[in-house]
Structure 1
Amino acid sequence: MECWTDLDDVPRDVGPSVVTIGNFDGVHRGHRSVLARMVAAARALGGRAVAVTFDPHPLQVHRPDTAPELLTGVADRLELLAETGLDAVLLLEYTLEFARTTPEDFVRRYLVEALGAARVVVGRDVRFGRDNTGDLATMAELGRRHGFEVDVLEDIHGTAPAERRWSSTWVRELLTAGNVEAAAQILGRPHRVRGVVVHGDARGRELGYPTANLGRTSGMVPADGVYAGWMRRVHHPAGLPDGYLPVAVSIGTNPTFDGVERRVEAHVPSRTDLDLYDEEVVVELVHRLRPTLRFASVEELVDQMAQDVERTRALLADGPLVLRGAAGA
């Protein structure tokens, strides 16, 4: 998948294309359904499937104090978008100046002139252009004026008993509660957190459970607790072992030691030989084992850690989680 961050990057012969617009935070099953449909339409047309998305998220520009925590950083968003079969992404920098673009100018400049859109795929609630004044009726009128079709998708819902519209907001609610299993059903995959491994207090190593401590992370960090999951070493040479490892993950402040800094720490069971410092890793959270607890003694903590590791081994014994029925998967 190509990624263009400027109109000058877009090939002059890019059209005809099938285009959609969105933030695609999390690239959940609802997003994947839209993207699968546009990819199929592009293949039938003999053109390219292109998603237009933004960085930073518009709410981070307009309402930085109340903007939601993003499910995925840019690197993971692009990686997940590539998995849908898209030919390209136009990643536009979202600024206050860009936000003043009128709906007609946005469509004409980006969709028509730059991307040669023959079809634009949108939901009924689409909003675009200055003050979100562009809507579905606006897009349809601009399509008639500029010669592209508008393909309208209905909302995608889960099945009973949770017949709610799949959305990034719903995933955030579940992660806030630590329910990574339910979040995975909406995402179509385990939720992931990305970061570079940094030096910590080395307390885990002293206790017999060395951990990879993630520095500044991207991707929403779920509720404090202990999780079972997988760790992928982003730049690990393909084909070599240890690139994808089972992990027991602790998220929290280490209350037994009166910690105050919230951390994400991953322990690889039965491995004390790994040197992961300064490596970029992606941690996929599959099961929540328990909430974070304050123990009366270090001995009680170590006993519980041993149980957590054994449960992690058992839960991950069948290998990485594969979710069936994810739209577009």
Structure 2
Amino acid sequence: MGLIWHGVDEVPDDFGPTAVTIGNFDGVHRGHQQVLARLKAAAAASGSRAVAVTFDPHPARVHRPDTAPHLIMGIEDRLAALAAYGLDAILVIHYTLEFAQQTPEEFVRGVFVDGLKASHVVVGHDVRFGRGNAGDLRTMQELGERFGFEVVVVEDFTEPAAPVERGHADDAEERRCSSTWVREALDAGDVRTAAEILGRPHAMHGEVVHGAARGRALGFPTANLDHDSAGHIPADGIYAGWLVDEKGTRWPAAISVGSNPTFAGVARQVEAHVIDRPDEAPEDFDLYGQRVVVEFVERLRGMVAYRGPEALIDQMKLDVEQAHEILSAAGRSV
């Protein structure tokens, strides 16, 4: 795993030269992955070290906290996803209103030139930086000429606008992969499209806490994620997916998102019922207190209010069977 710095002052003076890219990288989706691939190629070709620069908190949460988008992943998961691409280092800049007042030149000089000794800067056509997002691609190219670094421009990575239907629509309209598109898909419960854009299933990461134990009473015990869990919560409904425990074991699961309208006064929550849990040694299957990952594969249905527990139990049995079939068809042993 490469180095992680929290501030330019942590970068060693002799670390450069570097090939650098910059972005929020929320989701580290396939568009981001293309940028990271070009970054590594530029670093290898120039004998530089590959460095990604990102921000925490997300700039939108600083400039417009009341309307900022829900993040696809937390900062720890984002850094882990970036590190998985074999970067030499990641620079996390603490984003504040004061930092945002830097001009494009001040930002580039302080971070890329003086801090990272950049020989190459890898960006997309839509790059914006500096106070009021005044800097754009042309600004970056002009600053590159002045300070002696080469600007590498990465083309947009696109997907058919309806990835699930790709086999039936070869000429489907293309859309640029973006964090916004991922959020739109998750808000609609379309976790399959989100996975197409991300290049992997969408996931949440959090601690398993005690709930109302309604699932256990109905014969379907669940692992309830705490309300501070990281990751964008998909639309209410029932999903097929996976629960990954602290040992790294992947358990097939039927996942519920919502307030369970069959019962009054239930707060919105994310809970996963592990399919085929080891009944022979239940004492060894205690997930409480563990930090787990919940991955969403496919939405089975929306939330429905049933006439009573018996009708709900019958539906939950069908949900588990359907989730089992979907996960088996995905090529994993359940």
1:1-329 superposed matches below 5 A? 1-159=2-160, 160-215=171-226, 216-233=228-245, 235-236=246-247, 243-271=249-277, 273=282, 274-318=285-329
What amino acid maps onto 2:265 in structure 1?
Answer: G
Q: TM-score, normalised by structure 2?
A: 0.91
Report if aligned partners of 1:193, 1:218 keep a CA contact under 8 Å in 2.
yes
Report the counterpart of residue 327 of structure 1 in structure 2.
Answer: none
Query: What secondary structure does 2:31 align onto?
Result: helix
Structure 2 unaligned segments of length 5 or more: list them: 161-170
What amino acid maps onto 1:225 in structure 2?
Answer: G
Write the deviation string for residues 152-202 of structure 1: whole angstroms up to 9, x where unpaired: 122221144140111111111111110001111111110111111111001
Query: What secondary structure does 1:276 align onto?
Result: coil
Deviation at 1:146, TM superposition (A): 0.9
What amino acid maps onto 1:295 in structure 2?
Answer: Y
Distance 1:82 1:320 in 2: 27
Deviation at 1:16, TM superposition (A): 1.2
Deviation at 1:100, TM superposition (A): 0.9
Report the counterpart of residue 166 of structure 2 in structure 1.
Answer: none
What amino acid maps onto 1:267 in structure 2?
Answer: H
> What is the root-mean-square deviation in Å for CA atoms of aligned residues?
1.4
Structure with higher RCO (Cα < 8 A, 6+ apart): 1
Report the counterpart of residue 168 of structure 2 in structure 1.
Answer: none
Q: Return 159-168 or 84-93, whichever deviates more.
A: 159-168
Write the deviation string for residues 216-274 of structure 1: whole angstroms up to 9, x where unpaired: 221110100000111122x42x6xxxx22111100000110113411000010132522
Distance 1:62 1:277 in 2: 37
Query: What secondary structure does 1:305 align onto?
Result: helix
Query: What secondary structure does 1:288 align onto?
Result: strand
Report if aligned partners of 1:228, 1:288 keep a CA contact under 8 Å in 2.
yes
Structure 1 residue runs of 4+, over 3 Å off?
318-321
Deviation at 1:72, TM superposition (A): 1.0
Report if aligned partners of 2:259, 2:267 keep a CA contact under 8 Å in 1.
yes
Report if aligned partners of 2:251, 2:275 keep a CA contact under 8 Å in 1.
no
Query: What secondary structure does 2:239 align onto?
Result: strand
Q: Decide whether aligned partners of structure 1 residues 136 and 13 sit closer, same or farther in structure 2, where only a CA change above 3 A counts.
A: same
Query: What secondary structure does 2:262 align onto?
Result: helix
Q: Decide whether aligned partners of structure 1 residues 320 and 130 sit closer, same or farther in structure 2, where only a CA change above 3 A counts.
A: farther
Deviation at 1:320, TM superposition (A): 6.7
Write the deviation string for residues 75-110 of structure 1: whole angstroms up to 9, x where unpaired: 111111112222211011111111111211111111
Distance 1:37 1:165 in 2: 17
Report if aligned partners of 1:255, 1:294 keep a CA contact under 8 Å in 2.
yes
Deviation at 1:3, TM superposition (A): 1.1
Query: What secondary structure does 1:33 align onto?
Result: helix
Report the counterpart of residue 324 of structure 1 in structure 2.
Answer: none
Q: TM-score, normalised by structure 1?
A: 0.92
Write the deviation string for residues 89-138 of structure 1: whole angstroms up to 9, x where unpaired: 10111111111112111111111111110000111111111111111121
Structure 1 unaligned segments of length 5 or more: list them: 322-329
Report if aligned partners of 2:52, 2:91 keep a CA contact under 8 Å in 1.
yes
Percent identity over the alignment is 59
Report if aligned partners of 1:230, 1:320 keep a CA contact under 8 Å in 2.
no
Distance 1:213 1:141 in 2: 52
Distance 2:236 2:73 in 1: 18
Distance 1:312 1:8 in 2: 49
Write the deviation string for residues 25-67 of structure 1: whole angstroms up to 9, x where unpaired: 1111111011111111111222211110001110110011111
